């Protein structure tokens, strides 16, 4: 009998024993790569930084879960969720009627999860002397009815309007609640000369270099070197700067919920992650990044 035949016989004898003893391996209960839960999280650029920190924090304590996070805009995230290519869609606006119709056509019931709140800050260059605006004035600025800062008590300079692009949930919210003042019958549109920028960073960089510009962004993205404008609902109610306190007290008029959407009820791994997002640990991250925490209640 040659040496190879002897080795094969020995292997055949010991294989059953090695297999039977494998359950005593202290590492046998650890998940393999194939067993890892994978959560793909996509959408709102407003939420993306928050979602990245959440994912990193959660994975440290839950190595059996892997979470990927990308931006692209609220509309992009919801579309991906409806197409079945992501687990969770991040959105800085509520899902639209058209999107709900698309979901119904695919026999999908989107489930809404409110995960934080946000204030939309009105931002100008520090050289701009204008410090207060009403919602109506903001609507008039962005619709083109007001085009010069002197009409608002500022200098004789043409206003440069900055906005997020149309796929952004922040853009949609601003259109519906500021330009249209929350009136569903109002069809006011952005002035055609409004500069549509693809990111918060684009708005911030333009405001830094242009003293004639006005922009809006989530509170958590406003740097200290730019100036936030106080806003009043109607000029009668107090003018307020955005903050956690003024949002929770319903004093700041441009505030909104932030959402995650799933296609139907989430599975166990996803539900555990969504439950964690509402814990004190995760909501402290919300506050640390300049957003407004919510509670499970």
Which fold would CATH assign to domain 118-255?
A: D-Maltodextrin-Binding Protein; domain 2 (3.40.190)
Tell me if 36-117+257-288 shares its fold with 118-255: yes
User: Taking a C-beta distance cutoff of 8 angstroms, is the pair 75, 169 a contact?
Assistant: yes
Which pLDDT tens digits describe the chain residue by residue (297 residues)?
A: 444 344 334 334 333 433 333 334 433 343 444 457 999 999 999 999 999 999 999 999 999 999 999 999 999 999 999 999 999 999 999 999 999 999 999 999 999 999 999 999 999 999 999 999 999 999 999 999 999 999 999 999 999 999 999 989 999 999 999 999 999 999 999 999 999 999 899 999 999 999 999 999 999 899 999 999 999 999 999 999 999 999 989 999 999 999 999 999 999 999 999 999 999 999 999 999 999 999 765
pTM of the model: 0.80
Pairwise CA distance, residues 274 & 145, whole Å: 44
What are the boundaries of each domain within the chain?
Answer: 36-117+257-288, 118-255
What length is written for the chain?
Answer: 297
3-state DSSP call for residue 43?
strand
Assess if CATH 3.40.190.10 describes domain 36-117+257-288.
yes
Residue with tokens 């058209």: 98
Burial 196-219 (b: 16+ CB within 10 A, else e): ebebbebbbebbeebbbbbbbbbb
Pairwise CA distance, residues 99 & 109, whole Å: 11
Measured CA to CA in angstroms, residue 24 lies from 12, 34, 36, 137, 157 at distances of: 21, 21, 22, 72, 78
């Amino acid at each position: 009998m040659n040496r190879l035949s002897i080795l094969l016989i020995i292997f055949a004898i010991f294989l059953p024993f090695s297999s039977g003893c494998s359950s005593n391996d202290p590492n046998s209960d650890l998940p393999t790569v194939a067993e890892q839960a994978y959560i793909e999280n996509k959408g709102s650029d407003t939420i993306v930084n928050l979602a990245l920190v959440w994912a990193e924090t959660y994975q440290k304590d839950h190595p059996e879960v892997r979470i990927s996070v990308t931006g692209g805009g609220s509309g992009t995230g919801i579309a991906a969720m409806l197409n079945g290519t992501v687990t969770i869609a991040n959105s800085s606006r509520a899902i639209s009627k058209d999107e709900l119709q698309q979901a119904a056509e695919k026999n999908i019931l989107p489930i809404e999860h409110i995960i934080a709140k946000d204030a939309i800050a009105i931002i100008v260059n520090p050289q701009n002397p204008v410090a207060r605006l009403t919602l109506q004035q903001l609507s008039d600025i962005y619709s083109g009815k007001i085009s010069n800062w002197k009409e608002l008590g500022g200098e004789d300079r043409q206003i440069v309007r900055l906005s997020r692009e149309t796929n952004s949930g922040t853009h949609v919210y601003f259109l519906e609640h500021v330009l249209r003042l929350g009136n569903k019958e109002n069809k006011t549109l952005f002035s055609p000369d409004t500069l549509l920028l693809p990111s918060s960073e684009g708005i911030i960089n333009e405001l830094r270099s242009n003293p004639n510009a006005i922009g809006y962004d989530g509170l958590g993205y406003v740097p200290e070197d730019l100036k936030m404008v106080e806003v009043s609902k109607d000029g009668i109610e107090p003018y307020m700067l955005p903050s956690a306190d003024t949002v929770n007290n319903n004093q700041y008029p441009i505030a909104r919920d932030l959402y995650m959407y799933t296609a139907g009820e989430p599975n166990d791994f996803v539900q555990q992650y969504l439950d964690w997002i509402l814990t004190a640990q995760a909501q402290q991250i919300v506050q640390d990044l300049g957003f407004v925490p919510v509670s499970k209640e």
